[in-house]
Structure 1
Amino acid sequence: MDFFLNKLDKHLDNNRSLDQNMNDLKRKLENLNALKEDTDSKMSAELQPRKKLKKQVDLWLETVERINGEIESLEQRVAQSSTISRGFHTANVLKKIQDVEDLLQQGKFDQGLVVDDLTQIGQALTTTTLVGQAAEICKKEIWTCLMDDDIGKIGVWGMGGIGKTTIMKIINNQLLEETQKFNIVIWVTVSKEMNVSKIQKGILRAIGEDLYEDEEEAIRAGKLYKRLIKKGRYALILDDLWDKLSLEEVGIPEPCNGSKLVITTRKLDVCRYLDCQEVKMRTLLEHDAWSLFLEKVGRDILNYPNLLPIVESVVEQCAGLSLAIVTVASSMKGIRSIHEWRNALNELSRPVKSVTGLDEKVFQQLQFSYDHLKDEKVQHCFLCCALYPEDWNISEFALIRLWIAEGLVEEMDSQQAEFDQGRTILNKLKNNCLLENGEYTRYVKLHDLVRDMALRFTRVKPRFLVKTGMQLKEIPHQQEWTEDLEKVSLKFNKFMQIPSQMSPPRCQILTTLLLSHCLIESIPDCFFDQMKGLKVLDLSGNNFRNLPRSISNLKALIVLLVKKCPPLEKVPSFSKLEALKRLDLACTKLKNLPHGMQRVVNLIYLRLDIEEVPSGILSKFSCLRHLVVRNAFVKGEEIGQLKKLEFFEGSFYDLNEFSTYLQALHGRRQQLFRYQIGMSHCRRPRAPRLSWKKTIELEGCKIYRVGVTFPSDLQQLNIVGGIVDFPEEEVFFSWFIPTPKGMFSSLKELNLFECNKIKKLFSCSWVLRNVQNLEVLRIQFCVQMEEIIASEIEFVEEEGMGGSNSNTIHFTLPKLRILQLCFLGQLKSICSANGVMICDSLESIVIEHCSRLQRIPLYLPPLDGGQPSVPPLVRIVKSSKEFWESVKWDHPNAKSRFKPIFTS
């Protein structure tokens, strides 16, 4: 009976702890997805021509996608379980927590995300499968011209949506294999907003040349001409050329000696103006169009004989255009009602209003797909995509954040819940083929025809004014700012000016104004006087010193973004901006909070770079979820009072303030999913050195023992120049943080720099209890450091154990990857004479200027048969040659597993 009761108690304990474990899993998954989003953002910056993604990064991204699906499935199984059976899921949840933790550890790519792609002569592009016999014939025709040295210019033309870009992307990738034929392959997307400067910059960027924004077009043309001649045989592809182009103005040499210029265009006269060999793209043959439609709509439609005549008529209405077929079929996927199919046919058969010449038919099919979104909010989310420049890789994170700002995503209790809803909308747009995957993971694009359709809708209601990335030197003329405008986007028009004499645009119902990354130097004070309905204003990436006073009266404003405006030093009063929820003033010269901030109590997102935060102000923002305060110290009690806070980055003056913050956190149901906390006696704090999502850094702090505690989920701890005054015989971490077992079980990285009074870092028991998940250990410039892990006798005394010194102590650090010991002139041992370190994951040891260190107590067990489990070249020791030759390894097989890299 007792055995049964014990088993029942254990099962009930599992059941009770399951909710806590599930919450822990969700928090860790949020961290993982946030890390993935950050990685995606870095990818967009690093994936330049002649670069490719590291295999380990690609595999990591795939694994994160897979783990998200597995956890979603697990959550559903738990939710459907009975009270009795729920406890049986505990092991699976714990396993998934460990999987997510492992991915968080693996997702730190200190050495960058990309490597040189020396095998390529150009940039590989994402492609889709070529459909149909007509497309294959066209591809062969283009290829024949490319291989013919007598043909220098090729013009591929045909109506929009027919597949010109698709076929040329495939050919581009095939040309990359022709290393004997071409020295370089260059792809430049031109688009409707064509200008000479944009084409020049695209070519120069593709060939890896420096860009100078203020360089005149004629000078840049001469430079480009010389560079292309120097490259020898080149293949230059200009995709989506709309207008006649002067090669001389751009700086493109007349192709000869095997070099090629290929253009794609909707206009035959563009091909003839450039004297190209003409290749016409033709529509899909009837049987190919039917096959493609079946692939997208689902082949089970063949099981409904009564539908087939109507379906065939729908396919006929798509007129052999692949884009039209894909969008219509995707919109009708899963629909098997004859009434809905009849209605679809009627909609597609309506007379077409004139749009743009040959493109009327495809516009009709695209509008059909748009109409079938049905949900007005989702339709508005789609229209917001047109606020970005043509052919732009749009960050999914930035897009969803815009939808949230626009109120198109319902406000929820957490940022993660809102982003989940945003991703659901984004997937719906993808599934209806109104959005396509971008060039990078977690980025999307609009097909140029799809964007044209969105802009066409927004010429009426809701009315948009969009002139993005067009190199405008002056803001649109007064006449274009009509009273019925709802959204305006002028993003990415560098060095755009707003004339001081310009009258305030009369746009009372304007809700969104995007003027980011235009390098605007000044905005007239009265500019926003007639924009009383403005809710979203993005002025990021500009060069003005002052914000105009008219911003003070925007009482409806919900989002104000003024980040990355380095000269900004003065803003008007914010006392009337009581509706404001999101404010970003990061990376400016502002010294103080704007006047009237105490009235802006609805903020949920706040980023600041200021010198001083008035006492008591932050605690007024009780709705805050995201808070970043740089360059100023904050009060621990105030931050602790922000019960809804999910992410915090900031600095406390000392450990007392930090302890006050932790005490104020008591009673919170949910921990922060991300924090970056600094403590410093410096006049102005700086951001911590970051590798992980949960980081604490002590810089120049007075370090004492009484009352010090740290969050149990801490991932990275940095101690820099700590002022430590304690008995020399003490072991630092046992004295400073006498934690119970497992207190630091989440710690991934520990950095100790310039802590001069520490002689002994860890006790044996502290290591065995607390750092089993440690991945990185760096100790540098600690001039009195003698031992990393103190001698074994202290361990015996601490644990009350007997035994002789001959007993070997095994310090197992299964996840340690990086060990760096630098400028430790007194260091004698890593661990005691009878201790060995078992570090199966160790990849790198850096030992520099540790002249008294004589042994490396490292043990790496071999596989069966004596073969190492990891090839020697994977692991390195970076040191002087003298040290490598003189140091003793406790286990010779460990030394054979490492490759030396000598520093001198």
Structure 2
Amino acid sequence: MDYILNKIDQHLENHRSLDQHMNDLKRKLKELDGLKEDTESRMSAELRPTKRLKTEVQVWLENVERINGQVQNLVGRIGESRALARGFHTDDVLKRIREVEELIQQGKFHEGLVVDNLQRIGQVLSTTTLSGEYAKACVEEIWQCLMDDEVIKIGVWGMGGVGKTSILKVINNQLLKETGKFDIVIWITVSKQMSVAKLQKDIASKIGVTFSGDEDETTRAGMLFETLSQKSRFVMILDDLWERISLEIIGIPELCTGSKLVLTTRSFDVCRQLGCRVIKVNPLEERHAWNLFLEKVGWEILNIPGLEPIAKSIAKRCAGLPLAIVTVAACMRGIDNLSEWRNALTELSVYKKSVNGLEDEVFHQLQFSYDRLKDPKLQQCFLSCALYPEDFIIKEKVLIQFWIAEGLVEEMDTRQAEFDRGCTIMNRLLNNCLLEVSTLTKYGRHVKMHDLVRDMALHITSAKPRFLVKAGMRLTNPPDVQEWSEDLEKVSLIGNWELEILYPLEMSPPKCSMLTTLLLSDCGIMSIPEGFFNHMNGLKILDLSKNPIMSLPNSISNLKILTRLSLARCLNLKKLPSLSNLQVLKELDLEATNIKSVPHGMKNMLSLKYLNLSWSRNLIVIPNGILSRLSCLQELIVGETLLRGEEVHGLNKLEILEGRFHDLHNFNMYVQALHDREEPCEYQIRVGERGRVVTFNSRKYIELCGCNIYSNQIMLPRDIKELYIKKCYLDCSEEHLFSRFIQVSLDNFSSLKFLQISDCRNMKKLFSPNCVPPNLQQLRVRNCDELEEIIASELESEARGMVTREFRLPKLRQLELIDLSELKSICGVGGVMVCDSLEEIRVEDCLKLKRMPLNLPQLDNVQPSGPLSLGIYLKPKEWWESVEWDRVATKSLLRPFLRCCYTHDYISCLC
């Protein structure tokens, strides 16, 4: 009897303590999810092409996903339990608490998240076709030296613009194909302003060594030495070395048989001092130079009477240097007027040498191309690229935004029109070989200046216009007093991250009344003296981004013609002086600052076109009456800071919007206002709770998180491409979810490409038969415990045993159904989904789903060993054996494409 009473007492105690335990579990789970978000942010920073995620990290992330699902299920079971039975769940809750605590401890990953990707031995580089027999002979000679164990160091020597880098890029790519000879190929671009620290950092990034930032030079060298010593056969390519380096100080081991050092340089002495086998790259012979010129300018010029001898003379003036030939030829391409050609030859012939040294003949060829831009604004756009550090890769959008702020792109009605004009300018510079494309991604180009071209630009700006450029030079002391001359127009100290102070305290504030642009980003500046800006009344652009400053001097308020102020990623910045005098300011960037409120006087910035407040975590809401006054806004980026519908619905010029609405009411208010005007070109909008930031695939993205979806219809923009719905509640489970959505002027969601739904309650149906987005590329549904149908059944037709219809999704590439415990049907008893492009099917823990109604035309006449890209991922394995497919033969046709089955503890192959 006592035993029974004890059990009853224990059960009652469990019942009473359950709520407390559940609160503990939710709190710890929130901590775990926060750790997961931080880990994913670290992944973005650490993952590079030469790295891969550690297996333990991947397993940990999967375990976090698993425990979230289990807790969600447990919460559901407790909610469904009768009052007296709730205590029976206490042990389960305590078990989950222990598991979450273990995962929190496991998720610290102090040793980093990534390891070397051993399957990669180097980076493939973009190359150009080499011109001339001598260049090809150089490639052959270098290759023979690399294959010869007796040759350890190879120095490729020649004047600027002669093609040394192009030759070494060919060698680099050829080495990557010879994987049996070397363990790793390391390409490092050095630069004129070389420093030991920068070189060590660049090498470390290529070989997987991570510096904490506290090491001294010797310690860094030891870390590099240890890692490189383990790679018995490596090739180190140092491109554009200007002076002798000590391999020991850098951390490069004494090279023995099997490892190689290859360098390019303009100095024979560098090769000699390092003991290299020297290979000289000479200019092109005249006939090869002429052929290269014709290739770049267009062979059709030979059809213009009288032009060939003039063109040959111009090509000859390029002195056989590929860089000069390509630059001048690109400048003359498309010109068929004989007078213009004669004038070009005259200009080239009378040029005076403007600098001393090996580059004399190259410089005036390059400056010829600059002069032929003609348009002063176009020339200014080019010169502004020299404000960035040497070898700096510049995002096209950032550079064009800078040109717009400088006034070098004429003001137009829309920001998109201004960017289009900026792209046109960019193409002019690229086509004239004054800039080059570094990388190309789906989000835009990245460009850079050839170092010789940059030298030419800096030479021009040493006179008129006057620039002071000391970007990326690792300065620890600011420029001397005399360098802050009164005729300066632009100053750039970008990337001197050890600078800390702008000028000594004993120095009077600079008197630079002509200064229009001051770029001080990433300089380690701790504070700015109060009077620093007193004599800079002409300043239009001020960039103080990426500095550890906590406040700004009041004198910044006197910069009355300032048009652009960037304080992005000043993580310590807590307050700003009043900006009420900055009434012509057009761009204000406060991304990732520590401010708690918007700057005083912002409502007076009636000319503001660009406002960025994203990642300012302490800025919760923008007060009423501010945004609604900024009627000129074209870009509004506020991240997680809350937006009010009535504040933004009147911003008729808005082209880009990134932000979060508190609820669906405010969101609807904004979208309804789009009915009579042009929608934004880009938007990433979140509604409801702060959720995990999803990596989006497009620039037209909406996320609903933690919203109660009531009977009122929710409006979506007409051109929405991505929709994410998570942790939402549908108030009527009998309706399909998409019955609650409508689009401005459309009703079939034809633009929707990516749809993900997770953790939604009280939802039994997703689509009606008449409302299936026809152009979906990705459909992912997870953890919706009550979902029974993806496409609702047409009950009347099914009762008569008739096929409802075919649902055609010709662009669907990924179908993912995970943890849908009640899912019984994808598209009704007789319905069929025809998917011409499906590449991935993932079904996990959908045990009540007995039929896969997929018609895959791509399977017809395709052999298992053919080129079809199709992956099928299932869990549990037994489900595959029991599920029925629309066609009897489909299961056997799909079997060769089965990839793997995810279990709780391991991954086992099915095939």
TM, length-normalised to structure 2? 0.81
Partner of 2:256: helix, strand, or coil? Answer: coil
Whether the 8 Å contact between 1:494 and 1:517 is mirrored in structure 2 is yes
Q: What residue is the counterpart of 1:494 in the other structure?
A: 497
Alignment of 1:438 with 2:446, yes or no, is no
Matches within 5 A, 1:623-662: 623-662=632-671
User: Cα gap change, 1:360/1:760 in structure 2, threshold over 3 Å: closer, same or farther?
Assistant: closer
Alignment of 1:671 with 2:673, yes or no, is no
User: Cα gap change, 1:705/1:484 in structure 2, threshold over 3 Å: closer, same or farther?
Assistant: same
Distance in 2 between the 1:134 and 1:275 partners?
A: 24
Matches within 5 A, 1:306-455: 306-350=306-350, 352-353=352-353, 355-440=355-440, 442-455=445-458
Deviations 1:545-592 (A, max 9, x none): 223322211111111122222222111111011111111112222121
List runs of 5+ in structure 2 lacking aligned partners: 1-42, 53-114, 904-911
Shift of 1:341: 3.8
Q: What residue is the counterpart of 2:527 in the other structure?
A: 522
Which of 688, 699, 702 in structure 2 is aligned with 1:696?
A: 702
Alignment of 1:480 with 2:483, yes or no, is yes
Alignment of 1:141 with 2:141, yes or no, is yes
In structure 1, give the amino acid aligned to 2:208.
Answer: G
Q: What residue is the counterpart of 1:880 in the other structure?
A: 876
In structure 2, give the amino acid aligned to 1:717.
Answer: L
Deviations 1:581-614 (A, max 9, x none): 1111122221211000010011111111421211
Q: What residue is the counterpart of 1:755 in the other structure?
A: 760
Q: What residue is the counterpart of 1:19 in the other structure?
A: none
Whether the 8 Å contact between 1:143 and 1:171 is mirrored in structure 2 is yes
Distance in 2 between the 1:519 and 1:444 partners?
A: 26
User: Cα gap change, 1:279/1:754 in structure 2, threshold over 3 Å: closer, same or farther?
Assistant: closer
Distance in 2 between the 1:531 and 1:741 partners?
A: 53
In structure 1, give the amino acid aligned to 2:775.
Answer: N
Whether the 8 Å contact between 2:798 and 2:830 is mirrored in structure 1 is no
Alignment of 1:616 with 2:625, yes or no, is yes
Shift of 1:696: 2.6
Distance in 2 between the 1:305 and 1:690 partners?
A: 56
Distance in 2 between the 1:174 and 1:637 partners?
A: 61
In structure 1, give the amino acid aligned to 2:764.
Answer: K
Shift of 1:190: 1.0
Q: What residue is the counterpart of 1:28 in the other structure?
A: none
Which of 568, 574, 577 in structure 2 is aligned with 1:569?
A: 574
Distance in 2 between the 1:440 and 1:46 partners?
A: 19
Partner of 2:770: helix, strand, or coil? Answer: helix
Distance in 1 between the 2:516 and 2:673 partners?
A: 39
Whether the 8 Å contact between 1:469 and 1:490 is mirrored in structure 2 is yes
Whether the 8 Å contact between 2:701 and 2:720 is mirrored in structure 1 is yes
In structure 1, give the amino acid aligned to 2:606.
Answer: V
Between 1:366-375 and 1:705-714, the stretch displaced more is 705-714
User: Cα gap change, 1:768/1:210 in structure 2, threshold over 3 Å: closer, same or farther?
Assistant: same
In structure 1, give the amino acid aligned to 2:715.
Answer: T
User: Cα gap change, 1:894/1:554 in structure 2, threshold over 3 Å: closer, same or farther?
Assistant: farther
Q: What residue is the counterpart of 1:784 in the other structure?
A: 786
Superposition RMSD on alpha carbons, in Å? 3.0
Distance in 1 between the 2:326 and 2:849 partners?
A: 68
Which of 846, 851, 854 in structure 2 is aligned with 1:858?
A: 854
Q: What residue is the counterpart of 1:899 in the other structure?
A: 898
Partner of 1:622: helix, strand, or coil? Answer: coil
Whether the 8 Å contact between 2:730 and 2:737 is mirrored in structure 1 is no
Q: What residue is the counterpart of 2:62 in the other structure?
A: none
Report sequence identity in percent: 54
Between 1:624-633 and 1:745-754, the stretch displaced more is 745-754
Matches within 5 A, 1:211-226: 211-226=211-226
Q: What residue is the counterpart of 1:769 in the other structure?
A: 771
Deviations 1:443-499 (A, max 9, x none): 222221111000000111111111222222333233322211111222222233115
Q: What residue is the counterpart of 1:598 in the other structure?
A: 603
Q: What residue is the counterpart of 1:248 in the other structure?
A: 248
Whether the 8 Å contact between 2:537 and 2:558 is mirrored in structure 1 is yes
Partner of 1:768: helix, strand, or coil? Answer: coil
Whether the 8 Å contact between 1:540 and 1:565 is mirrored in structure 2 is yes
Matches within 5 A, 1:504-523: 504-523=509-528
Distance in 1 between the 2:573 and 2:493 partners?
A: 20
Whether the 8 Å contact between 2:395 and 2:446 is mirrored in structure 1 is yes
Q: What residue is the counterpart of 1:76 in the other structure?
A: none
Whether the 8 Å contact between 2:835 and 2:857 is mirrored in structure 1 is no
User: Cα gap change, 1:235/1:701 in structure 2, threshold over 3 Å: closer, same or farther?
Assistant: closer
Whether the 8 Å contact between 2:209 and 2:224 is mirrored in structure 1 is no
List runs of 5+ in structure 1 lacking aligned partners: 1-41, 52-114
In structure 1, give the amino acid aligned to 2:788.
Answer: E
Alignment of 1:706 with 2:709, yes or no, is no
Deviations 1:36-72 (A, max 9, x none): xxxxxx9999764489xxxxxxxxxxxxxxxxxxxxx
Partner of 1:598: helix, strand, or coil? Answer: helix
Whether the 8 Å contact between 2:755 and 2:778 is mirrored in structure 1 is yes
Alignment of 1:718 with 2:724, yes or no, is yes
In structure 2, give the amino acid aligned to 1:171.
Answer: I
User: Cα gap change, 1:216/1:859 in structure 2, threshold over 3 Å: closer, same or farther?
Assistant: same
Matches within 5 A, 1:220-299: 220-299=220-299
Distance in 2 between the 1:541 and 1:231 partners?
A: 36
Which of 547, 555, 560 in structure 2 is aligned with 1:550?
A: 555
Deviations 1:704-747 (A, max 9, x none): 11354333333333332223333x54444436769998442222
User: Cα gap change, 1:857/1:476 in structure 2, threshold over 3 Å: closer, same or farther?
Assistant: same
Deviations 1:812-858 (A, max 9, x none): 33333333333333333334323333333333333333343333333
Distance in 1 between the 2:350 and 2:229 partners?
A: 53
Between 1:518-527 and 1:606-615, the stretch displaced more is 518-527
In structure 1, give the amino acid aligned to 2:716.
Answer: F
Between 1:811-820 and 1:600-609, the stretch displaced more is 811-820
Deviations 1:514-533 (A, max 9, x none): 22233433333332222211
User: Cα gap change, 1:132/1:664 in structure 2, threshold over 3 Å: closer, same or farther?
Assistant: closer
Which of 581, 586, 590 in structure 2 is aligned with 1:581?
A: 586
Alignment of 1:840 with 2:836, yes or no, is yes
In structure 2, give the amino acid aligned to 1:477.
Answer: D
User: Cα gap change, 1:591/1:284 in structure 2, threshold over 3 Å: closer, same or farther?
Assistant: same
Whether the 8 Å contact between 2:698 and 2:722 is mirrored in structure 1 is yes
Q: Which has the higher contact order (CA 8 A, sep 6+)?
A: 1
Distance in 1 between the 2:455 and 2:45 partners?
A: 25
In structure 2, give the amino acid aligned to 1:635.
Answer: R
Between 1:116-125 and 1:528-537, the stretch displaced more is 116-125
Distance in 1 between the 2:198 and 2:862 partners?
A: 60
Distance in 1 between the 2:327 and 2:745 partners?
A: 60
Distance in 2 between the 1:241 and 1:661 partners?
A: 56
Partner of 1:330: helix, strand, or coil? Answer: helix
Distance in 2 between the 1:221 and 1:448 partners?
A: 27
User: Cα gap change, 1:873/1:384 in structure 2, threshold over 3 Å: closer, same or farther?
Assistant: closer
Distance in 2 between the 1:312 and 1:251 partners?
A: 49
Deviations 1:104-136 (A, max 9, x none): xxxxxxxxxxx9987753222222122223323
Distance in 1 between the 2:251 and 2:223 partners?
A: 8
Alignment of 1:456 with 2:463, yes or no, is no
Between 1:580-589 and 1:455-464, the stretch displaced more is 580-589
TM, length-normalised to structure 1? 0.81
Matches within 5 A, 1:179-194: 179-194=179-194
Shift of 1:642: 0.7
Deviations 1:428-455 (A, max 9, x none): 1122221223244522222211110000
Distance in 1 between the 2:702 and 2:309 partners?
A: 67
